[in-house]
Amino acid sequence: MDYKKVYEEWSTNPFFSEATRAELLAIKDDDKEIKERFYADLEFGTAGLRGIIGAGTNRMNDYVVAKATQGLANYIIKRKKQSRGVAIAYDSRNFSPEFADVAACVLAANGIKAYIFESLRPTPELSFAVRHLKCIAGINVTASHNPPEYNGYKVYWEDGAQITPPHDVAIMKEVKSISVQDAKTMPKEEAIAAGLYEVIGKEVDDAYIAELKKLVIHQDCIDKYAKDIKIVYTPLHGTGNIPARRILSELGFENVYVVPEQELPDGNFPTVSYPNPEAAEAFELALALAKEKDADIVLATDPDADRLGVYVKDKEGEYHCLTGNMSGSLLADYEIGQTKATKGLPADGCLIKTIVTTNLVNEMAKHYGVELIEVLTGFKYIGQQILGFEQKKKGTYLFGFEESYGCLIGTHARDKDAIVATMALCEAAAYYKSLDMTLWDAMIQMYDKYGYHVDDIKTVTLKGIDGLEKIQSIMNTLKAHTPREIAGHEILWARNYSNDTATNMRTKVVLPTGLPNSNVVYYDMADGSWLCVRPSGTEPKVKFYYGVIGKSLEEAQKLSEEFGKAVLKMIDNML
């Protein structure tokens, strides 16, 4: 692509708005910025689009959104599914409502009805709405937990999960085959008059909340102990505020305190630089309020409310951060354990996790006698497993989660659901209170039962064109040269998911990984520790996930710290 030529086209062609052309003319003397914006099309990948907001082919804007939607429409029409419509939701980010409207009008111009939410809604509710309305697809305008300058566009298929093969590849092909000027559109008023633009809201909200309530196991414990539990919650300026508070209120939790500075939607996220519940700064205001109110639980959802961050208070009054691995394991143990205790587990019950998620749940699955299924990183692969259970009429979904603070209880949605996780965690707090335990006590009890697994992640951010090249260089180096050991932990198996090989480093036996090709390297250590390296699918980062096992929590934490230092040294050597 001749980026200068494309820049000239966008800067001068009246097809593009006056505001777009003015924005681009303002950078006419900045060749580096022009190149960043136009050296490629913003990739429509397996997770849809995600990028910095602005004018250009490599940015999130009306034209890129319209092109993506036209590609989706072309695919739907080729499959003769246009009569079923598409559900559209959006979050609190800048331009999210505008991008949602652009998508709706493109669909309408193609004769496909758009069901668009009246205001911002969480990702899991969009996933639910696709199936509830019997749509062929769904669009969610969100950049999840990315910094404020980003926005994104996720595509869902009729099962309510993000697109997976063969749909993802086919839709990507359609999007790549057209230009931004090929997208059809029509005025919103005409789309409404033609019955191709329908606003949705309360009816779907009520149905979604009703599904969550069906998943409660111990309403008796909530009725008895909810009044004694104090909860601090922050939606981090995002979509979780109304649904999270509604479900807790309707179940009977009275003492819910919302962080006032972060309660209202705001795409600039003024109180945090990075609206991610994985980041410590996201909890600064919430923890201050928690200490003021003497809260038992502190919860934060990301802007599209699919991820949940958690702090819990112990009996001494100290607050402990639960990583996604910790909170996911805690919820898995509660949901599966209490399902077994109250009605028994199905013979074909399954616990699903991604390959970068803690191995603690491997031991949990053995304890409960349920099947453990590992999938590639991305919750859509967990959704894909649920669809497979339905199609084969074999396999019962019990719980699924990934280390990045996302889980799903129930099958009402097919994506991470921080609203149902909020509900379940507060229910678990009431249940454990009936046993005179805190959630932290339950966490320690779980370590005692399944082993002291400590998991962590190191992340390297490498932006721009040069950054992409460095990320790929790191991956190529690791695939070509497997280390003998890391921090004294001998590597026993080296899995290269890009060529479906798992190599025993002692015997040189090579087996298939059993999973689809992916740009991922995974090392199993002889002592049960592990390391997995993969580029982020949504950010300019390469991620190093790892886990260790100790004879005590203190020992495991020390081993994890040493392992992390060795990983950072390895990264420095490669850069």
Domains within the chain, CATH numbers bracketed: 1-29 (no CATH), 40-200 (3.40.120.10), 208-450 (3.40.120.10), 452-574 (3.30.310.50)
Which H helix or E strand runs over 116?
A: strand 114-117
Strand duo 86-90 + 114-117: pairing: parallel
Instruction: Check residue 41 and report its DSSP letter.
Output: P
Q: What is the pLDDT of residue 466?
A: 84
- CA 69-385-211 angle, 5° bins: 80
Does 537 score more than 90 pLDDT? no
Taking the C-alpha atoms of residue 33 and residue 36, their distance in angstroms, rounded to an integer, is 5
Q: What is the pLDDT of residue 32?
A: 94
| Residue 498: how many other CB atoms lie within 10 Å | 14
Single-letter residue type at 239: T
Does 571 score more than 90 pLDDT? no
Once rounded to an integer, what is the mean pLDDT over residues 464-471? Answer: 85
Q: How confident is the model at residue 574 (pLDDT cuts 50, 70, 90)?
A: confident
| Residue 109: how many other CB atoms lie within 10 Å | 21
Active site positions, annotated: 144
Q: What is the pLDDT of residue 1?
A: 67
First and final C-alpha spacing in the chain = 28
274 and 248 Cβ atoms separated by less than 8 Å: no
pLDDT tens digits, one per residue of 322-358: 999 999 999 999 999 999 999 999 999 999 999 999 9
pLDDT tens digits, one per residue of 199-215: 999 999 999 999 999 99
Closest by CA position to 479, among listed 497, 458, 504: 497
Exposed (0-12), middle (13-18) or buried (19+): which is 552, by Cβ within 10 Å? Answer: exposed
Q: What is the pTM of this model?
A: 0.95
pLDDT tens digits, one per residue of 160-177: 999 998 999 999 999 999
Taking the C-alpha atoms of residue 461 and residue 544, their distance in angstroms, rounded to an integer, is 12
Once rounded to an integer, what is the mean pLDDT over residues 219-228? Answer: 98
- Mean of pLDDT over the chain: 96
